Amino acid sequence: MSLVDDQSAKIPRCFRNFFLCSWLSFRNMFVLMFSLYLLALSFVPLHSTQVSSNDKPIIGILAQDLSTPKDDRIAYIAASYVKFLESAGARVVPIMINQPDEEYRRLFKSINGVLFPGGGASIFSSGYQRSAKIFYEMALEANLKGDYFPIWGTCLGMEQLLLLTNGISLLTRTNTSGVSLPLNFTKEAKGSRMFGNFPDELMDALALEPLTENSHRWSLAVEAFNSSNALTTFYKVLSTNTDGLTEFLSTVEAFDYPIYGTQWHPEKNAFEWRKPYITHTPSGVRVTFFMAEFFVGEARKNFHKFATEEEENQALIYNFSPVKSSAKSIFEQVYYF
């Protein structure tokens, strides 16, 4: 008998079994804990490594070209977009058109997200298009580096996002100017970032009631979307609608970036009153605030800030005053620049 065999024989079988069971339990526990750790990592959103929250988010809104510049006014922002973001606890900075690239880069490093609003500017060649392109490209680059920076596009803003992603326009004319519709949710909606925390009763209302106001003449047909590899690999379709002839995208979010688009206007239910087809029911108004809370919540994950408090104060929209719009306008109030 070897020395090892001799020593082993001196250890009672019960103790040897105890040590063996203890080792197996420890190993199993380690495997379990490591598996839970890997599972937790899978829930980290997109490219972000941030876990805390920015309680003072500042979001930029793109100004857009006036169709007919007058006096010293060349651009505007509808006040309802400002109220939309402020209702969820954000402050707003107007992003002026026709600024140097360096100014846009400086501003990008100072704000926590950007909203591309609806309107009538050209998505092919305008001050609106140029600033949107610059911020879109900076956001893609930042997010790939772990700098979580969200973008939201409403109506014209969503059309601009789709064009920037695809490179060419696939939009088609639809009869969707001046109508409120229920959303036709896809199977992707329930597990989406945008709608994931919406109450069930509000999702039901969105699916059954005409809560979403549409003011667009152009849409991206589902068929055209499915024909583009650039779009189908970038965006998840959360809802569609139809004008009776064409089924089109109405809500999207990017797979790998905090980029979102609605062909409809979530801000109008609470803040615009001039058109009879805008829904102001309790459910409609709740949609406004839930959408605002979601996007501002995305901006809270970003930690850009202005270099100084003075620079921040000079940039905020509080330095401008909205004015009551003319009777012909669809907006209650407008900021002119």
Q: Where are the alpha helices (DSSP H) in the chain?
A: 3-9, 13-41, 79-86, 101-108, 127-144, 156-166, 200-208, 222-226, 229-232, 268-271, 282-299, 309-315
| 152, β-bridge pairs | 115, 260
Which residues are catalytic, by number?
155, 265
SS3 (DSSP) at 167: coil
Report the b/e string of 37-65 with b at 16+ CB within 10 A: eeeeeeeeebbbeeeeebeebbbbbbbbb
| pLDDT value of position 245 | 97
Q: Which amino acid is at 116?
A: F
Cβ neighbourhood burial of 127 (10 Å; 0-12, 13-18, 19+): buried
Contacts 24+ apart (CB under 8 A), 140-143: 140/257, 142/108, 143/46, 143/47, 143/256, 143/257, 143/258
Residues of the chain with pLDDT under 70: 1-51
Cβ pair 176, 265 in contact under 8 A: no
Cβ pair 296, 59 in contact under 8 A: yes
| pLDDT value of position 70 | 84
Find all residues with CB under 8 Å of 59, minimum gap 6, and list them: 85, 90, 91, 92, 93, 111, 112, 113, 114, 115, 295, 296, 299
| pLDDT value of position 47 | 55
| pLDDT value of position 20 | 47
| pLDDT value of position 13 | 52
Q: What's the predicted TM-score (pTM) here? A: 0.85
